[in-house]
Chain A
Amino acid sequence: MRIPVETFRLDNGLFVTFSEDHTAPIVAVNLWYHVGSANEKAGRTGFAHLFEHMLFQGSAHVGSNEHFELIQRAGGTLNGSTWLERTNYFETVPSNELALVLWLEADRMGELLPAMTQEKLDTQRDVVKNERRWAVDNQPYGTMLEKMQELVFPASHPFQHSLIGSMDDLSAASLDDIAQFFATYYTPDNAVLSIAGDFDAAEARRMVTEYFGPIPRGKGRPSLPSMSLPPVFGDRLREVVYDDVSLPRLFMAFRSPVFGSDGYYAASVAGAVLGMRKGSRLQRALVRERQIAADAGAFTFDLAKGADLLVADVTARPEIPVAQLEEEVEREVDLMHREGISKAELGRAIALIETDLVASLQSAGERADRLSMFATYFGQPDLINDQLGRYRAVTVDDVNEFASSQLGENNRASLLYLPRESVESETLLAAAAGAT
């Protein structure tokens, strides 16, 4: 199975990828800007994401909120999202509306600033603060991402600070910040445009050139401090968070090879052996057999710079002492670290990953997003077609090599959530221990 991929670059540096598929009259447009929370300056945490909200507030020829309205009127779906390394904007529409989408994206890439006002900034600041309250502050385990970033990255590292941002930093964001960020990062040479689905390549190329061609190239982006990190934490890291949660939950992170590297695929398969679905080790041992966990899983952050993270995520059963939860997770990790995995475990993991990969490519939006991702991180959108092969090439030895070098005690960071009421009992325990 191969997805057709065509690429070209406009004179202003905009990198364009096309993938045609005429099975349904649907087309997906996807833009990745190579800017994320990592690019924020000190005192402006959360700004990349706040900026994403401002991109829906109109541009020179588009009214406030009109972007949403025009796309929905066209029968399309749309959104945007911000991550540590990138910000993306995407629409899926009936294929006869491709021109509208390209025009809207070009208008905000070319002429956002005339539409920016203090009032719009103030409203979106309130919306984002409410997003923070909703998704982070008033949600059990909602602080996981920012606590994890803080725990596993050194203070000076661009991945260390909160993506959603602090309330104070959000309050401090100004229209000047908007203008500066726009001029620096929202330029054609810092973006990838992908189109997937039902369109005519020659016609689309003409439209892309017409709408995006006149937008001037940027002046280059400031370089980030060094992103590189040693392959392991070097020490055991641990933080306990007392929060408004009902059940203890342990996130145990391991530093792992960057997204796209050979080592990444081995780590990703190791993660699937550990936590993907019912047959994984954590599910089988902790949820099914020993019944100490209510749920268990594992995931990777997919970071393309510095180092990636593999995270095991285990929620305790109500009656289980937290010390036991930690011990039993450690024991499973130790076992994989020391003894590696079997051929059958490898086969199971790769078979599941294969199905998920193929099934996800049914959606035009998903195809466009992955093309943008591989183009943004590696300049090679056709890597989309290498993924199955990369996973199939992973051997037991590759996974065991990863487990042996990166699941050891010098590379574990535990972020442990405990119900707030347990502070008291822990303090009492500590006092009792001190008294003896």
Chain B
Amino acid sequence: MVATLRPKAGPARSYRFPEFQEDVLPNGIRLITAPVSKLPVVTVLVIVDAGSTNDPPGKEGVAALTAGTLLEGTTELDGAELAEKFEQLGTSVESGADWDSAFAKMTILGDRAEEATTLLGHVLSNPTFPEREVERLKGERLAEILQLESEPRGLADEKFSEFLYAPDSRYSRPDEGSTATVTGLSRSDVEAFYRARYRTELTTVIVVGDMSRANARALITKAFRDWPSGSAEDRRLVATPKTVKRSLHIVDKADAPQSELRVGHVGLPRKNPDFFPTLVMNAVLGGLFGSRINLNLREVHGYTYGASSYYDWRRGPGPFVVSTAVQSEVTAPALQEILNEIDRIRSDRITDEELSLARDYLDGVFPIRYETTGAIASALATLTIYDLSPDYYATYRENVRSVSVDAVLDAAQKHLHPDRLQTVVVGDAKAIREPVGELSLGDVQIHNA
């Protein structure tokens, strides 16, 4: 006979987010160091304010292409030789750009960190962007776009953005560029973008792991001494919605066994005074396994393997979206359940049990999120990219705990907009057109995949 009494929690041990320090190097680069010595591992993360929202119009994708080509050659070494050098040291540098920043990241064993970091600083400061490699990476991006056409999840995400934002918003187009814009990019576009934005005052280097502050500072100062000085203005971001009326877009995929669903609207920027109430509200709505939307669609109805909602946090107002894939036959009832849940969280207060589930989870899971040097470095990058307060992590749990039932209702009423919902269904149009058309989701448009 197994013990029938549920054990109670013991006294909690205290936890502090790893101590970090911010510094400005003589040439203007910001340095953030967090010594963590659990294992002999170091993560170096370089972030530059050179994300996709700074793509010039007509050159969408240049930020991503620039970041992707950073490690493809210097005056002394070509891309293959560089890859070989890093990999002989047991690491490889991942580089890329998202909406808000460009990054280069590597994790390496402590005793090889100095050599690899010196090399990294040199390479990032002296890229030659060889024509051949720029063209190759363009080709790989074009292949990726083609792959997306047969990949329902990615396709649904991309179409959702396209139907959500006004055509002149950078957010309406893929962050890594479309076939037309990528095809038009050249080596000189990449070089010009690099010269404009890879500047000391737009750059932060983060070093986390088994390395002392003094060593990190000396190492980064030397490795990044050639980084071009100066700053640059941010391009103005347009993030207006395409429409403020509901509308429904069916992207036809004949005979698809499932419908990929995206339902949502333009959300709010990462840095906003309602961040914590909105975070907790979304956890209850669709952020947790035990959230209303997942329990409803998965555990009550068996419509799906999983359903969730999230705010895609960006500097500008990213999307709020409910995302799931359901069996084709139940597309309409599943959409109706999603609409009901959005209405319900706006009309009635959540229960104390729901509030405590979300709060206790977000509070309790906090230390589990920062077990690795890579995760800590990413968390520190978030502070810089979104210009959050240095005590953001020190006060995070307290901020989560102070959210009330009323604050959640308020966040739901202010930041969920049922009247503006845009719905995208990637699925079998002939099977779902009619039942879905009967829901009040707005005008229906059918598109080819």
B149 neighbours in A (Cβ, 8 Å): 246
Kindly list chain B residues whose C-beta atoms are within 8 Å of the C-beta of A198: 13
Residue A359 at the chain B interface, CB threshold 8 Å? yes
Docked Cα-Cα span, A354 to B258, in Å, equals 41
Contact of A288 among B4, B80, B143 (CB under 8 A): B80
CA distance A124 to B302 in the complex (A): 7
Interface residue A229 (Cβ < 8 Å from any Cβ of B): no
B108–A355 touching, CB < 8 Å: yes
Bound-state Cα–Cα, A110 to B1, Å: 8
**Once A and B bind, how many residue pairs between them come within 8 Å at the CB atom?**
237
Q: How many residues of A contact B (CB 8 A)?
A: 87
**Residue A107, interface by CB 8 Å:** yes
Known: A100-B7, A137-B257. Is A72-B289 also a contact (CB below 8 A)?
A: yes
How many Å lie between the Cα of A348 and that of B109 in the bound state?
14
Task: Say yes or no for A134: interface residue by CB 8 A criterion.
Answer: yes
Residue-wise, chain A 66-82 has the 8 Å CB interface mask toward B (1 for contact) of 00110011111100000
Q: Which of B90, B92, B302 contacts A126 (CB 8 A)?
A: B302
A61 in contact (CB, < 8 A): yes
Q: A149 interface residue, CB < 8 Å from B?
A: no
Chain B neighbourhood of A130, CB < 8 A? 258, 302-305, 325-327
* B273 contacts partner chain A, Cβ-Cβ < 8 Å: no
B109 near A127 with CB under 8 A, answer no
Residue of A nearest to B16 (CB): A24
Please give me the residue from chain B that is nearest to A59 by CB atom.
Answer: B2
Q: Which of A344-371 contact B (CB under 8 A)?
A: 344, 347-348, 351-352, 354-355, 358-359, 361-364
A106 near B3 with CB under 8 A, answer yes
* CB contact list, A204-223 vs B, under 8 A: 207, 210-211, 214-215
- Which residue of the partner chain, among B41, B92, B256, B257, contacts A358 with CB atoms under 8 Å? B41
Evaluate whether A351 and B136 lie within 8 angstroms (CB atoms) in the complex, with A75-B363, A76-B368, A99-B10 already known: no
Query: How far, in whole Å, are A93 and B146 apart by their CA atoms in the complex?
Result: 42
Contacts of B38 in A (CB 8 A): 21, 23, 362
In this complex, the member of A69, A215, A315 whose beta carbon has the largest number of chain B beta carbons within 10 angstroms is A69
Question: Quick check: is B357 within 8 A (CB to CB) of the other chain?
Answer: yes
> Which of B83, B144, B298, B356 meets A279, CB within 8 Å?
B83
Contact A24 B371 (CB under 8 A): yes
Q: How large is the interface on B (under 10, 10 to 19, 20 to 34, 35 or more residues)?
A: 35 or more
How near does chain B come to A245, taking the closest CB pair, in angstroms?
Answer: 5
Question: Is B87 a contact of A122 with CB atoms below 8 Å?
Answer: no
Q: Which residues of B contact A361 (CB under 8 A)?
A: 39
- A410: chain B residues within 8 A (beta carbon): none
Which B275-333 residues have a C-beta within 8 angstroms of A? 288-290, 295, 298-305, 325-327
Partner of B150, one of A24, A64, A245, A362: A245
Is B431's CB within 8 Å of the partner chain A?
Answer: no
| Beyond A26-B371, A74-B9, A294-B140, 20 additional pairs, beta carbon < 8 A | A72-B290, A73-B356, A75-B360, A103-B6, A124-B302, A126-B302, A130-B325, A134-B305, A135-B305, A139-B153, A247-B146, A279-B92, A291-B139, A294-B143, A347-B88, A348-B87, A359-B374, A362-B39, A362-B373, A363-B371
In the A-B complex, the 7 residue pairs with the smallest Cβ-Cβ separation, listed nearest first, are A75-B364, A126-B302, A351-B90, A99-B7, A25-B13, A294-B143, A278-B83
Measuring CB to CB, which residues of chain A are less than 8 angstroms from any residue of chain B? Answer: 1, 21, 23-26, 60-61, 64-65, 68-69, 72-77, 92-100, 102-103, 106-107, 110-111, 122-131, 133-135, 137-140, 198, 207, 210-211, 214-215, 244-247, 277-279, 284, 287-289, 291, 294-295, 315, 317-318, 344, 347-348, 351-352, 354-355, 358-359, 361-364, 419
A-B contact pairs, 30 of them (CB 8 A): A61-B2, A75-B365, A92-B368, A96-B12, A97-B9, A97-B10, A99-B8, A123-B301, A125-B302, A130-B304, A130-B305, A133-B325, A134-B258, A137-B257, A138-B152, A139-B151, A140-B151, A211-B3, A246-B148, A247-B143, A278-B79, A278-B83, A279-B80, A294-B143, A294-B147, A315-B147, A348-B84, A355-B107, A361-B39, A363-B372
